[in-house]
């Protein structure tokens, strides 16, 4: 079944990379991208994880939440842990080999492998001929990234041809650029005091590999014909180069210009300019030079800026330039050939029309690269990744098979439930695992908790602490009942004052259900007597309630008490009234393509089916039983993903008039209800397929879901508050935890009953065959069955010799 998926908006992302005021191109890109994303979506919260190089400290801006020490592998693991705790929706990684520690920057893999959130990696370098270490790191990045972003189509082709990355795993998004008006360089030159000069420019952090030498060697020939020419080289020397060798490289360029006799025609702006200063200088240049000496340059932020401002560019044909300057958006000249470079510049100086045409074409191309446009493309990729993370996980899940029924069930642990409970009752909500007292308590959860411990007591003896918890929940239930109103309160503040008037329908029905479970079993502390008396007092008010879920909850509680006291006329009459109402709702709303009790789906849906199945079976009303089973079949079909795993009806569906259920957000309550209803169907029909359906629904908690991740912490018995399209909700409140524990208790109880029935059947089989299964005898001697067969420990007590 196909579902349209509503992806909630991004709320919180993290960008990992270098960050200003560190002087490097990635830092500038990281800052600009983050600011553009915020401008595009004012509701988006963003933080930076900054890579800090050794022995340096930086006055980072406030949005830098954490630093990674480049050379410390442990620092990367700490960052992953921090991001997981921060519960970010997505991580945007800015990758360049040189900014991460380890061989070929391998330490970054320690961060990526530890992240829970999806990762979108922007590749600022894509190597066509990586060495083994670089290939290993790239393979790791590809493995952990949900999407790879490159800034040129050449990068996409390399990823496909060299690294075997599927096309759909790659996004091509241009390098972002500032949005500046298209102006005549003469205006900007006047501001800089250079109105009488023909201005050439190259900018960026200075270092070998930029081809500056080639440009300087082209200047002498140009100066002969254009003595007012000035070549401005803007930017500080790269900090890593200064650290390793000081200003030796810059000095060599000065020496070269002096040797060629053009030092007066070359201006070194030896500092790191602010963005506004840089753009003012760039706006003033007549011709921009990009003389990289090597082809394997997949992106250049400086060239992108020049094009975006509408500069006439002369460049060597490195990969990025070939794409960006195509269609007469610039001039390409051979690598390391000063004469060719100079000739191209000379032609543009004298041919104003050609220069103007190139400038116009370049500026038009740059419009698609301004940051506002680029940010929208990134947000689209982020949204797609979140959707694909869900659907991709769905394809990986397989339905549970028969052998899985009794295997890999976790133990029951009530530690987290106890942590949520104080002397008043169980608190409603948490922040992560911490009880959030601001939301106080509710009767719904305390009734659920009382119901859980009652069911758990049939599986194993409660611990003394669990016994005390049961009394606490019973006391809350008692206090919520208002005899004068014949109704219950639901919400209580942390100050123990009721926040609502008595009259909560669903809480009333759920309380009757919990009381029925307690009253069904004898209790040494006479809780059963209290529960029976209170149920008999509260149950008649159910007929005044109007919600079908209140009727269903009440029916489940009444059915339990009638198992202990069959023939109780008032309860039997009430059961008949409520089950008739529920059946009538089904009759009124059901259609061939809509087999349901209402004209829309809500929460805790399967409880409606379960109540009608149980009451129909107990009363022998075949119409009610069949209707309950039919609706449950229909509902479980709706709650089946394309890959076969359980997909509960999402909260986006609750209360809406959508006939196509929405898959998110997914709630533990729905999985629990499905488990319980299917087990009830299995009990009354003896059809083992319902047990498989129940286990399929329970496996949602363990990771057989759309994201392929567990929704529970089995060690603490805690359940997360639902599944979003791309992650689980980090909070672990009472409703979710009780849903998980109740579903687990029901599954384990059924498994224990099946095991007991299997052993008993084997004993009867042996007796019928004339073989007596022998007990162990006091002195340790035994005869009969082999030691490793469980039948050796059984006795049916029959007289068969």
Q: Are 62 and 31 in contact (CB under 8 A)?
A: no
In this predicted structure, what is the pLDDT of residue 784?
Answer: 30
Determine the Cα–Cα distance for residues 460 and 467; give it in Å rounded to an integer: 12
As given in the structure block, the two tokens for residue 227 are 């003595």
Q: Are 406 and 757 in contact (CB under 8 A)?
A: no
For residue 704, give every residue at least 6 positions away whose Cβ sits within 8 Å of its Cβ, in sequence order, or none.
397, 400, 645, 646, 696
SS3 288: strand
Q: How far is CA 695 from CA 480, 688, 700, in A?
A: 35, 11, 9
Determine the Cα–Cα distance for residues 393 and 263; give it in Å rounded to an integer: 63
Can 12-172 and 397-756 be said to share one CATH topology? Answer: no
Q: Are 219 and 262 in contact (CB under 8 A)?
A: yes
Determine the Cα–Cα distance for residues 685 and 600; give it in Å rounded to an integer: 28
In 3D space, the residue among 158, 159, 152 whose CA is nearest the CA of residue 365 turns out to be 152
In this predicted structure, what is the pLDDT of residue 776?
Answer: 32
Determine the Cα–Cα distance for residues 793 and 787; give it in Å rounded to an integer: 9
User: Domain ranges in the chain?
Assistant: 12-172, 185-368, 397-756
In this predicted structure, what is the pLDDT of residue 740?
Answer: 98
Enter the DSSP assignment of 66: E
Determine the Cα–Cα distance for residues 662 and 664; give it in Å rounded to an integer: 6
Other CB atoms closer than 10 Å to residue 524's CB: what's the count? 7
In DSSP terms, 229 is beta-bridged to 198
As given in the structure block, the two tokens for residue 559 are 């059915």
The per-residue pLDDT for range 281-314, each reduced to its tens digit, is: 999 999 999 999 999 999 999 999 999 999 999 9
Enter the DSSP assignment of 666: B
In this predicted structure, what is the pLDDT of residue 329?
Answer: 96
For residue 788, give every residue at least 6 positions away whose Cβ sits within 8 Å of its Cβ, in sequence order, or none.
none
Q: Give the relative orientation of helices 338-350 and 212-225 as an angle to the nearest 10 degrees.
A: 50
Select 12-172's CATH number: 3.40.50.12710, 3.30.1280.10, 3.40.640.10, 3.40.50.2000.
3.40.50.2000
CATH topology of domain 185-368: Rossmann fold (3.40.50)
Residues of the chain with pLDDT under 50: 1-5, 391-406, 766-767, 771-801
CATH number of the domain located at residue range(s) 397-756 in this protein = 1.50.10.10
As given in the structure block, the two tokens for residue 696 are 């399929």
Cis amide bond preceding 756, omega within 30? no
Q: Are 79 and 16 in contact (CB under 8 A)?
A: yes
């Amino acid at each position: 079944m196909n579902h349209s998926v509503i992806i909630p908006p991004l709320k919180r992302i993290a960008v990992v990379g270098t960050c200003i005021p560190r002087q490097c191109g990635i830092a500038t890109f990281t800052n600009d991208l983050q600011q553009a994303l915020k401008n595009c979506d004012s509701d988006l919260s963003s933080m930076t994880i900054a890579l800090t190089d050794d022995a340096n400290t930086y006055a980072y801006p406030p949005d830098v939440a954490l630093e990674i020490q480049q050379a410390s592998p442990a620092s990367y693991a700490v960052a992953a842990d921090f991001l997981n705790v921060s519960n970010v929706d997505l991580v945007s990684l800015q990758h360049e080999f040189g900014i991460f520690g380890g061989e070929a920057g391998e330490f970054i893999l320690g961060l990526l492998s530890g992240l829970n959130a999806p990762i979108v990696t922007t590749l600022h370098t894509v190597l066509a001929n990586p060495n083994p270490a670089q290939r290993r790191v790239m393979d790791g990045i590809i493995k952990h990234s949900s999407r790879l972003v490159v800034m040129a189509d050449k990068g996409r082709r390399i990823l496909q041809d060299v690294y075997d990355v599927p096309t759909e795993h790659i996004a091509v998004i241009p390098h972002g650029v500032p949005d500046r008006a298209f102006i005549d360089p003469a205006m900007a030159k006047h501001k800089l005091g250079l109105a009488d000069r023909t201005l050439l420019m190259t900018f960026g952090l200075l270092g070998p590999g930029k081809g500056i030498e080639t440009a300087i060697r082209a200047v002498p020939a140009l100066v002969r014909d254009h003595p007012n020419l000035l070549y401005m080289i803007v930017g500080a020397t790269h900090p890593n180069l200064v650290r390793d060798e000081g200003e030796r490289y810059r000095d060599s360029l000065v020496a070269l210009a002096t040797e060629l006799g053009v030092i007066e025609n070359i201006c070194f702006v030896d500092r790191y300019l602010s963005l506004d200063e840089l753009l003012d200088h760039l706006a003033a240049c007549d011709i921009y030079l990009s003389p990289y000496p090597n082809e394997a340059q997949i992106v250049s932020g400086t060239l992108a800026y020049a094009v975006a401002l509408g500069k006439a560019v002369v460049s060597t044909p490195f990969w990025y330039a070939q794409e960006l300057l195509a269609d007469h958006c610039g001039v390409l000249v051979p690598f390391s050939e000063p004469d060719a470079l100079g000739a191209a510049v000379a032609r543009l100086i004298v041919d104003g029309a050609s220069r103007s045409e190139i400038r116009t074409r370049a500026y038009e191309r740059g419009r698609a690269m301004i940051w506002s446009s680029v940010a929208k493309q990134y947000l689209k990729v982020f949204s797609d990744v979140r959707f694909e993370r869900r659907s991709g996980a769905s394809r990986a899940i397989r339905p549970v098979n028969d052998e899985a029924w009794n295997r890999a069930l976790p133990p029951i642990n009530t530690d987290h439930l106890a942590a949520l409970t104080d002397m008043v009752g169980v608190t409603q909500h948490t922040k992560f695992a911490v009880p959030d007292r601001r939301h106080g308590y509710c009767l719904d959860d305390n009734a659920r908790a009382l119901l859980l411990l009652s069911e758990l007591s049939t599986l194993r003896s409660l611990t003394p602490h669990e016994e005390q918890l049961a009394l606490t929940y019973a006391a809350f239930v008692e206090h919520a009942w208002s005899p004068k109103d014949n109704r219950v309160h639901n919400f209580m503040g942390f100050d123990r004052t009721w926040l609502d008037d008595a009259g909560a329908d669903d809480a009333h029905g759920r309380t009757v259900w919990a009381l029925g479970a307690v009253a069904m079993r004898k209790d040494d502390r006479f809780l059963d007597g209290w529960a029976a008396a209170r149920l008999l007092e509260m149950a008649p008010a159910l007929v005044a309630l109007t919600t079908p879920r209140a009727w269903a909850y009440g029916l489940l509680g009444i059915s339990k008490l009638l198992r202990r006291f069959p023939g109780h006329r008032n309860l039997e009459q009430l059961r008949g009234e409520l089950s008739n109402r529920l059946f009538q709702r089904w009759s009124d709303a059901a259609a061939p393509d809509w087999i349901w009790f209402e004209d829309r789906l809500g929460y805790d849906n399967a409880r409606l089916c379960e109540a009608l199945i149980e009451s129909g079976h107990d009363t022998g009303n075949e119409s009610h039983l069949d209707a309950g089973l039919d609706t449950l079949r229909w509902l479980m079909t709706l709650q089946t993903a394309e890959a076969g795993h359980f997909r509960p009806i999402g909260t986006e569906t609750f209360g809406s008039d959508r006939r196509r259920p929405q898959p998110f957000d997914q709630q533990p309550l729905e999985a629990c209800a499905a488990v319980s209803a299917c087990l009830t169907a299995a009990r009354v029909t003896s059809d083992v397929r319902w047990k498989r359906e129940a286990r399929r629904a329970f496996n949602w908690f363990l990771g057989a879901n759309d994201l392929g991740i567990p929704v529970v912490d089995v060690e603490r018995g805690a359940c997360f508050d639902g599944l979003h399209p791309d992650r689980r909700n980090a909070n672990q409140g009472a409703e979710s935890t009780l849903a998980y524990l109740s579903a687990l208790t029901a599954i384990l109880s059924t498994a224990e009953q099946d095991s007991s029935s299997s052993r008993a059947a084997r004993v009867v089989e042996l007796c019928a065959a004339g073989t007596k299964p022998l007990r162990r005898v006091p002195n340790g001697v035994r005869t009969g069955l082999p030691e490793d067969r469980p039948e050796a420990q059984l006795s049916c007590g029959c007289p068969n010799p």
